[in-house]
């Protein structure tokens, strides 16, 4: 009985972690898209500036 519950909890935990990771990846992807659009409008800004924006987003 306890063993089954442990298995369920572990699966739920794995699912939560997977969801958090996919949310993070989507967030990074969206910000990357934003940065590429931003870079097209501001081509003369140095690359370091984009790295800083990407880091803080």
Q: Please write the tens of the pLDDT for every residue from 1-57.
A: 455 677 788 888 888 888 888 888 888 787 777 777 766 766 666 666 666 666 665
Rounded distance between C-alpha atoms, residue 24 and residue 10, angstroms: 21
pLDDT of residue 14: 86
Closest to 24 measured CA to CA, from 10, 48, 16: 16
Rounded distance between C-alpha atoms, residue 51 and residue 32, angstroms: 10
Task: Find tokens 């931003």 and name the residue.
Answer: 38
**In contact, 5 and 23? CB cutoff 8 Å:** no
Number of domains present in the structure of the chain:
1
């Amino acid at each position: 009985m306890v063993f089954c519950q442990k298995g369920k909890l572990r699966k739920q935990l794995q699912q939560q972690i997977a969801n958090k990771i996919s949310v993070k990846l989507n967030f990074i992807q969206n910000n990357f898209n934003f940065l590429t659009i931003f870079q097209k409008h501001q081509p003369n800004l140095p690359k370091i500036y984009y790295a800083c924006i990407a880091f803080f987003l």
